[in-house]
Amino acid sequence: MDNSSGVGVLDKAAIVLSALEAGPATLAQLVGATGLARPTAHRLAVALEHHRLVSRDMQGRFVLGPRLAEVYPFLAQLAETPLEPELAEVVRQLSPEVVRRRMMAAVPMTAIGSP
């Protein structure tokens, strides 16, 4: 199956986001996971950070950003409406616990209050 949409920059951004699904990553780890050139991986990660699709944790590693959690409630609503089978499967794969864990990795402890 070809994962190319024909829009190279979008495909590469999707590769970066997919790599971050595994958890926080340094730039070097992102390069290794995506196979992108270091300047390309950095440029895309920073651009995605600008749009809040990527963030950084307290160690400066790239993580999935808060915008994804903001979109999640909309996707959850979609799960309760009749969908095309392919879209329904994608929505079913988005576990609220997975999204919560990934988003918490991006939130500084000062933002949620530390003990």
Can you read off the two tokens belonging to residue 12?
């590469």
Separation of alpha carbons 61 and 38, rounded Å: 15
pLDDT of residue 78: 56
pLDDT of residue 98: 58
pLDDT of residue 113: 46
Instruction: Give the predicted TM-score (pTM) of the model.
Output: 0.64
Of 81, 50, 69, 80, whose CA–CA distance to 107 is shortest? 69
pLDDT 10s per residue in the chain (115 long)?
467 888 999 999 999 999 999 999 999 999 999 999 999 999 999 999 999 999 999 999 999 888 877 776 766 665 566 556 665 566 566 656 555 555 555 555 444 444 4
Of 12, 15, 43, whose CA–CA distance to 27 is shortest? 43
First and final CA of the chain: distance in angstroms? 49
